Amino acid sequence: MNIRYIFAIAMAIFASAGSAWACPYCDSDVGREVAAGIFNGEFAFNAVLTLLPIMVLMVIVAAIHFGTPWHECFSPSVRNKSTPSDTTVRSTTGVGDE
Amino acid sequence: MNNRMNRRPLISAGTMMGIGMGGFVDGILFHQLLQFHNMLSAKLPVRDVDMRTLAINLEINMFWDGLFHVFTWIMTAVGIAMLWHAVRQENVPRSTRTFVGSLSLGWGLFNLVEGVIDHHILHIHHVTETSGHLLWDLIFLGSGVALILLGWWLIHSDPIKVDQPGYHAET
């Protein structure tokens, strides 16, 4: 299927989604209190609280992926047995398999 | 020709996917199915409150749970992309042991990091919102440590052989 048709269908679905807003509480006293409880002065703070562990985990994954200058990678180097003399470890990218 | 194998892309991809999948296990199992806690259930309690407050707090917590799930979904998607990129590299061995170990490592990291930050430092929620939550919080941290150790062991014990079939790029 042509990508433009797919895009057009997707846009039509999203455009019609507004009419399918099925929030059962939004137009009620409870709904308004819920909205006020979410979108208030603490919104940014609560967002930081929610995302803080994720940001820390991203730093850890980045350290695994790009390496750290002071720590050996989890996986030791595996060398081609046909080139036993190749024993150097690249110092520019930190330690690792490369 | 440099035939030195590099598992780092596979490990980082698996770890990223493990973090995302671990987040889904927490969000789906503990937040939704068992309903032990929600993202801000220590700040906005859903226990021992009147019905109106319960309805409001549940809805607010559901929003923040949803935001959390958005980012676990993004992490899983990024992990899939990283995995695809990794397996397309000739010098990255397609090792099941390393990949499964990385998944375990990621899941363990999620439990440990999220547990320490959310349960013990920020106190925005606990595993169970009861007076005996400390024990469950510590068990949750212990599960993270166990998964990390399992993943580390699987990765380190992987007997990668350069000349084994499957570890060479397809031509």
Tokens of B42: 């220590």
Instruction: Note whether A20 contacts B: Cβ–Cβ < 8 A.
Output: no
Chain centroid to Cα A89, Å, comes to: 31
Q: How confident is the model over B27-52, as pLDDT tens digits?
A: 999 999 988 898 888 888 888 889 88
Q: Identify whether B123 is part of a domain.
A: yes
> How confident is residue A13, by pLDDT bands cut at 50, 70 and 90?
low
Q: How many domains does chain B have?
A: 1
Bridge partners of residue A71, in order along the sequence:
A68
Tokens 């309903």: give the residue: B35
Bridge partners of residue A68, in order along the sequence:
A71
Bridge partners of residue A78, in order along the sequence:
B5
CB-nearest to B60 from A37, A51, A78 is A37
Instruction: Note whether A42 contacts B: Cβ–Cβ < 8 A.
Output: no
All residues of chain A having their beta carbon less than 8 Å from the beta carbon of residue B15 are 60-61, 64
Residue B104's domain comprises 9-156
A50 close to B61: Cβ distance less than 8 angstroms:
no
Q: How confident is the model over A73-87, as pLDDT tens digits?
A: 554 544 444 444 444
Tokens of B53: 């407050």
Q: Identify whether B25 is part of a domain.
A: yes
What CA–CA distances, in Å, run from B51 to B18, B56, B58, B86? 38, 9, 10, 51
B8 close to A67: Cβ distance less than 8 angstroms:
yes
pLDDT of A14 above 70: no
Output B84 or A96, whichever has higher pLDDT.
B84
Tokens of A69: 């200058």
pTM of the model: 0.76
Q: Identify whether B39 is part of a domain.
A: yes
DSSP3 helix / strand / coil % (chain B, rounded to 5): 65, 0, 35
Cβ pair A60:B40 closer than 8 A? no
Instruction: Note whether B56 contacts A: Cβ–Cβ < 8 A.
Output: yes
Chain centroid to Cα B36, Å, comes to: 18
ipTM of predicted assembly, 2 dp? 0.84
Least confident of B103-112, B119-128, B160-169: B160-169
